[in-house]
């Protein structure tokens, strides 16, 4: 990804390919593999994403304990997305000169504290406050993690993007189901307490492994304004909204879509979705050199999977649909990160923040739209609407040029 941004393309402080040091710290060993900070960044992503979706794993018990309905308790997820939508474009404006390592570590600490607040919450109001703090941490972390990763491992943007997306996949495939089991065994508060501990450990690991990441010299409100003026970037951001809205209009109700065909297959179908997601993350990294056709075809594949899910009347057909759904949707974070930073390499931080905002807005709007369609017209209607939004995104990316690396 060609760029003069110091936050994205500065060589590692050691000056030696494949090594990194933590500057300014006595006793820091040179020769630390540069992939170590990328692994730490990926673990941090896994923790904030797991924290975002934890309420869905323990919703009934959480609702009873804090004295609200399950529908109202679902606001715990929406609150995080809403806070994230406001935070993503503003955090670089508020912290234009702060070392991005400091910001990222602080955001993981904030995520850990948000989980502590939820674990100890005596009321729903306190719980929501904790979830709002998580939204700030999640959006900020997503906005800066890619640039920090490419700073630590220059010239490997597609691998860094895949590593971060892999953290998301692990959180959804392993973390969320495991949290459900833990919640049933020892209580929902224990799951948030455990997540707080793991997120805190992630902050320590990141602080020890990530080299200093200076901000772009032009970071701030001016950079954001200039990024917004890039018509091609904003057209791509609109496509991000469309594809994410298409997915999240349907994904919160995937269990209902599965149970319509075979209620006994729910667990295995969700696992199949997750395995498809892991495969999609890896595949997107391998195919990143063909970014423009990949950006066009992945949303079309998502649309096909939603249509096939709507039409499925047997478990074999549903299995194909669900695996394709997981595979195609999990390619999108990799694709969109690479797309926005190649279209706007000089203002990569702002481009990433706009991409994060697009996802958070789409999560909120898509799940609300899907719920309304489900209540009024049934599960097939939201699958059809989701498919339409996804294919529109694919068509949009097909006509937008993207610079070569």
pLDDT digit of tens for each residue in the chain (405 aa)?
Answer: 333 333 333 333 333 333 444 444 433 444 444 789 999 999 999 999 889 878 877 777 888 888 887 667 767 777 888 888 888 777 777 777 788 899 999 999 999 999 999 999 999 999 999 999 999 999 889 888 888 888 888 877 778 878 888 888 788 777 767 777 788 889 899 999 999 999 999 999 999 999 888 876 555 566 677 677 777 888 889 999 999 999 988 887 787 788 888 888 877 887 888 888 888 888 888 888 888 899 999 999 999 999 999 999 999 999 999 999 999 998 998 888 888 888 777 777 777 788 888 888 888 888 778 878 887 888 899 999 999 999 999 999 998 877 665
Give me the pLDDT at residue 162, please: 80
Q: What is the maximal distance between C-alpha atoms in the chain?
A: 64
Give me the pLDDT at residue 23, please: 42
List, in order, residues 6 or more apart from 25 with CB less than 8 Å away: none
**CB under 8 A, 24+ apart: contacts of 15-22:** 20/152, 20/209, 20/211, 21/211, 22/208, 22/209, 22/210, 22/211, 22/212
List, in order, residues 6 or more apart from 323 with CB less than 8 Å away: 272, 273, 275, 276
Give me the pLDDT at residue 370, please: 81
List, in order, residues 6 or more apart from 209 with CB less than 8 Å away: 20, 22, 32, 36, 37, 39, 40
Give me the pLDDT at residue 405, please: 57
Give me the pLDDT at residue 141, please: 92
Give burial (CB, 10 Å; 0-12/13-18/19+) of 31.
exposed
Token digits for 258?
């599965």
Beta strands in 202-338 (DSSP E): none
DSSP-derived letter for residue 173 is I
Give me the half-sphere count of Cα atoms (radius 13 Å) on the Cβ side of residue 399.
Answer: 7
**Alpha-carbon gap, residue 260 to 211, rounded angstroms:** 50
Give me the pLDDT at residue 163, please: 84
Alpha helices in 153-230 (DSSP H): 157-170, 176-186, 188-209, 221-228
Provide the terminal-to-terminal Cα distance of the chain, rounded to the nearest Å.
5
**Alpha-carbon gap, residue 302 to 288, rounded angstroms:** 18
- How does 78-94 read in b/e, with b if 16+ C-beta sit within 10 Å? bbbbbbbbbbbbbbbbe
By the 8 A CB rule, do 72 and 124 touch? yes
Give me the half-sphere count of Cα atoms (radius 13 Å) on the Cβ side of residue 303.
Answer: 17
DSSP-derived letter for residue 251 is G
* Total number of residues shown for the chain: 405
By the 8 A CB rule, do 179 and 195 touch? yes
By the 8 A CB rule, do 208 and 20 touch? no
Token digits for 338?
């690479």
Give me the pLDDT at residue 223, please: 67
**Alpha-carbon gap, residue 266 to 261, rounded angstroms:** 10
Cα–Cα–Cα angle for 352, 353, 359, nearest 5°?
90
Hey, how many other C-beta atoms are within 10 angstroms of the C-beta on 25? 10
Give me the pLDDT at residue 71, please: 63
């Amino acid at each position: 990804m060609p760029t003069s941004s110091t936050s994205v393309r500065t060589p590692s402080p050691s000056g030696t390919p494949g090594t990194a040091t933590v500057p300014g710290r006595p006793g820091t060993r040179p020769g630390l593999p540069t992939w170590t900070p990328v692994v730490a960044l990926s673990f941090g992503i896994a923790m904030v994403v797991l924290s975002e979706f934890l309420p869905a794993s323990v919703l009934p018990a959480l609702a009873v304990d804090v004295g609200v309905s399950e529908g109202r308790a679902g606001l715990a997820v929406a609150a995080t997305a809403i806070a994230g939508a406001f935070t993503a474009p503003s955090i670089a404006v508020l912290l234009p000169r702060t070392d991005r390592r400091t910001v990222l570590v602080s955001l993981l600490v904030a995520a850990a504290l948000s989980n502590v607040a939820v674990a100890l919450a005596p009321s729903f109001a306190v719980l929501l406050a904790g979830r709002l703090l998580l939204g700030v941490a999640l959006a900020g972390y997503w906005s800066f993690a890619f640039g920090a990763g490419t700073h630590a491992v220059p010239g490997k943007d597609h691998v860094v993007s895949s590593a971060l997306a892999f953290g998301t996949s692990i959180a959804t495939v392993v973390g969320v189901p495991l949290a459900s089991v833990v919640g049933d065994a020892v209580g929902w508060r224990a799951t948030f307490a455990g997540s707080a501990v793991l997120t805190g450990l992630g902050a320590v690991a990141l602080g020890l492994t990530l080299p200093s990441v200076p901000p772009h010299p032009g970071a701030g409100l001016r950079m954001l304004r200039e990024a917004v003026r890039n018509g091609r970037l904003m057209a791509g951001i609109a496509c991000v909204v469309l594809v994410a809205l298409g997915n999240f209009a349907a994904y919160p109700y995937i269990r209902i879509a599965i149970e319509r065909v075979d209620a006994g297959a729910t667990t295995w179908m969700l696992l199949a979705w997750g395995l498809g997601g892991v495969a999609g993350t890896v595949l997107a990294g391998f195919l990143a050199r063909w970014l423009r056709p990949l950006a066009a075809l992945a949303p079309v594949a998502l649309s096909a999977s939603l249509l096939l899910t709507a039409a499925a009347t047997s478990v074999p057909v549903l299995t194909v649909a669900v695996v394709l759904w997981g595979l195609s949707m999990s390619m999108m974070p990799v694709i969109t990160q690479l797309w926005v930073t190649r279209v706007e390499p000089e203002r990569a931080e702002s481009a990433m923040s706009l991409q994060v905002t697009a996802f958070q807005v789409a999560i909120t709007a898509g799940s609300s739209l899907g719920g309304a369609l489900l209540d009024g017209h049934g599960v097939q209607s939201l699958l059809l609407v989701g498919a339409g939004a996804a294919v529109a995104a694919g068509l949009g990316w097909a006509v937008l040029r993207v610079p070569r690396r």
